[in-house]
Amino acid sequence: MPATPDQEALMLLERGDIRGFDLAYARYAQPVFGFLVRLSGSRALAEDLFQHTFMRLAEAGPRLRVDSNLRAWLFTVARNAFHSHARAQKVEARADRELSMIQPVIGVGPESNLALAELERALSALGESDRELLLLFGVEGLSHAELAEVLALDPVTVRKRVSRARARLAEALDEDGRVVSKSEVSE
Amino acid sequence: MTEVDELLARLRKLPPVALDPEFEGALRTRARRHLQRRVRPAPFASLALADTAVLYLGWALHFASALYR
């Protein structure tokens, strides 16, 4: 059976071949960075955490097993870096995020832009734990199993938490996809 | 499709966030350098170290045997 791109990247990294790093970077730099920007609400902080994540790959990559889940590993490192930072600084990522920092790479129509901007707002107003779940599961498309690995939880708990987070996001939006004002949102 | 599934589909449409090319370039260079330094063997340094160890052991053996002569 041919190796998957992730296995290929890990095999190259194991041999210390920089093409392994490049392959992993090409596949996951954008998703990991997007996750960190939306999770932290700060582009500058996201850059620091992103740098930490990929430097960890350069350091630990040669020791990773070829059958490791590279995507889950990278998101775990990124998430842990964020939580370590948050603990150290004793700051919770704020709800009023720098929305202007999220500049789309791909073009979308003006109407879609509006709807997506509202969705970004609703997402950023959620609690950190809900936001993290929805970013990983909803935006980045991690499976429940991968999510369980990243969060170090069992898959049943993960399913329940994702379901609750989705419900809270739905509550935060009205039928037209606009953010419901805080006083209208029931806890 | 349920309301929740539509919501999930919309989440998937959120655009990727662009990385600053300059920042990206610097990081990749640093990571590559780190990776190369970590795994590349240093043959001259290794050979020099091995030679020194062999010479030292030879000298120690010679010195010890001289004590019992």
Report the pLDDT value the prediction gives residue B55, as an integer from 0 to 100: 93
Query: What percent of chain A lies above the pLDDT cut of 90?
Result: 70
C-alpha to C-alpha distance for B9 and A141, rounded to whole angstroms: 10
Chain B residues closer than 8 Å to A31 by CB:
16
The two structure tokens encoding residue A154: 């069992």
- Taking residue B20's Cβ as centre, other Cβ atoms within 10 Å add up to 12
Residue A97 reports pLDDT greater than 60: no
Chain B residues closer than 8 Å to A173 by CB:
7
Report the pLDDT value the prediction gives residue A185, as an integer from 0 to 100: 47
Digit-coded pLDDT (tens) for A124-168: 999 999 999 999 999 999 999 999 999 999 999 999 999 999 999
Q: What's the whole-number average pLDDT of chain A?
A: 86
Band the pLDDT of A54: cuts 50, 70, 90: very high
Residue A99 reports pLDDT greater than 90: no
Say whether B35 and A105 touch across the interface (CB within 8 A).
no
Nearest CA in chain A to B6: A170
Q: Which amino acid is at A7?
A: Q
ipTM of the complex: 0.76
Residue A41 reports pLDDT greater than 50: yes
C-alpha to C-alpha distance for A25 and A86, rounded to whole angstroms: 25
Digitized pLDDT (tens) for each residue of chain B, 69 residues in all: 455 578 888 899 999 899 999 999 999 999 988 887 765 555 677 888 899 999 999 999 999 988 887
Report the pLDDT value the prediction gives residue A115, as an integer from 0 to 100: 82
The whole-model pTM stands at 0.78
Nearest CA in chain B to A102: B17
C-alpha to C-alpha distance for A9 and A37, rounded to whole angstroms: 25
Q: Which amino acid is at A8?
A: E
Band the pLDDT of A109: cuts 50, 70, 90: low
Count Cβ atoms within 10 A of the Cβ of residue B19 and give its class: 0-12 exposed, 13-18 middle, 19 or more buried.
buried
When scoring B13, B30, B35, B38 by the number of chain A Cβ atoms within 10 A, the one with the most, hence best to mutate, is B35
H and E: helices and strands count for chain B = 3, 0
Chain B residues closer than 8 Å to A120 by CB:
14
C-beta separation of A74 from A51 below 8 A: no
When scoring A36, A63, A74, A119 by the number of chain B Cβ atoms within 10 A, the one with the most, hence best to mutate, is A119
Question: What are the b/e assignments for A7-37, b being 16+ CB within 10 Å?
Answer: bbbbebbbebbbebbebbbebbbbbbbbbbb
Query: What percent of chain A lies above the pLDDT cut of 70?
Result: 83
Nearest CA in chain A to B35: A58
Count Cβ atoms within 10 A of the Cβ of residue B50 and give its class: 0-12 exposed, 13-18 middle, 19 or more buried.
exposed
C-alpha to C-alpha distance for A94 and B33, rounded to whole angstroms: 36
Residue A11 reports pLDDT greater than 80: yes
